[in-house]
Amino acid sequence: MRFNPRARLDTSRTRDSSGGGGGLGGGRMRLPIPGGRAGGGGLGLVIVILIVVLNTCMGGGGIPLPIDTGFDTTRVAADDTGRYDSCATGADANNNRDCARIAVENSLYDFWRSTLPVQSDGVFQPAQLNTFSGSVGTGCGAATSQVGPFYCPRDATIYMDISFFDDVLERQLGGPDGGFVQDYVLAHEYGHHIQNLLGTMSRVRTQQGPRSDAVRLELQADCYAGMWARAATRTRDAGGEVLIAELTREDVQMAIDAAEAVGDDRIQEKTQGQVTEENWTHGSGASRIRWFETGYSESSMAACDTWAVRTP
């Protein structure tokens, strides 16, 4: 991926709280670690699963708690390490992975700001992005570096411990190593934000199995990520400059390879040596690839309706 050097970056929706455990409320609930285990031995796999967030952030009846539309920007500033302060242009994004993350967030913001009102009856509100290391307080409780990237519907924030990509995805799961892998994961989590805005999370009743609502939710987020990838080179900054100058097929293939690596079947093969479909929460690697490619080829939210098919 190559960014337009003339593009201007907006860091207002992104913060970094590395090394901290600061909070946005929600108490000190510990998020369970799907597929992992305490203590030594084994892979100690720490793939985040959205259903964890749903379990800790939902109110009664499986309905997600509302977005905090009164997000406290003064608290954000107080918790921010300043990691992204020097990210001003697309040239910075080409030379610095942190700034590239800002550019991708800007691209996702522009894509969904224009797409959501046209393809749905949803009202767009931006997600926040919080990178961290060590631990972080969220509207869904406390999280540590043992938890991979996740979206919290309570505070409409994507949380990313960026060490996940080297420590877990590449080394433990054998996934690809490359810049666009992070971008795919960020786009997937932004897809969960869109689901939150549309109320799709309230459809989750069954939480395990290849045809479960939880799997359908995850595969739809993959499809939404594919939609953004197809349109990424057409997204623009606030002044109308294109943000992403080039997105190659190699970049897209990295996303596809990453989607396959975090399929439930691949994770189970790595951690337990056998596949048990009844425990799936995200879908198989093949399903994740198929739905990402559906979003990429169809560019349609309607085509991403994973509830419309018998077997997603």
Class of residue 60 by CB neighbours under 10 A (exposed 0-12, middle 13-18, buried 19+): exposed
8 Å CB contact between 168 and 174:
no
Say what the pLDDT of residue 19 is.
Answer: 61
- DSSP codes of every residue in 98-124: HHHHHHHHHHHHHHHHHHHHHHSS---
> Distance between CA 103 and CA 190 in Å, rounded?
14
8 Å CB contact between 26 and 140:
yes
Q: How far is CA 158 from the centre of its chain?
A: 6
Three-state DSSP class for 244? strand
Tell me the one-letter amino acid at 16.
D
Say what the pLDDT of residue 52 is.
Answer: 34
φ, ψ of residue 130 in degrees (nearest 5): -125, 115
156: left (phi over 0), alpha (psi -120 to 50) or beta: left
Q: Which tokens is 20 given? A: 């901290």
| Listed residue (33, 88, 25) closest to 57, CA to CA | 25
Say what the pLDDT of residue 54 is.
Answer: 35
Tell me the one-letter amino acid at 148.
G
Class of residue 82 by CB neighbours under 10 A (exposed 0-12, middle 13-18, buried 19+): exposed
Estimate the crossing angle of helix 285-298 against helix 213-231, to 10 degrees.
Answer: 40
Instruction: List the chain pLDDT tens, one digit each, 312 residues.
Output: 999 999 999 999 999 998 654 433 333 222 222 332 222 232 223 333 333 333 334 333 333 333 333 333 334 444 789 999 999 999 999 999 999 999 999 999 999 999 999 999 999 999 999 999 888 899 998 887 667 789 999 999 999 987 766 555 445 555 555 668 889 989 999 999 999 999 999 999 999 999 999 999 999 999 999 999 999 999 999 999 999 999 999 999 888 887 777 777 877 877 788 888 888 988 988 899 999 999 999 999 999 999 999 999
Three-state DSSP class for 93? helix
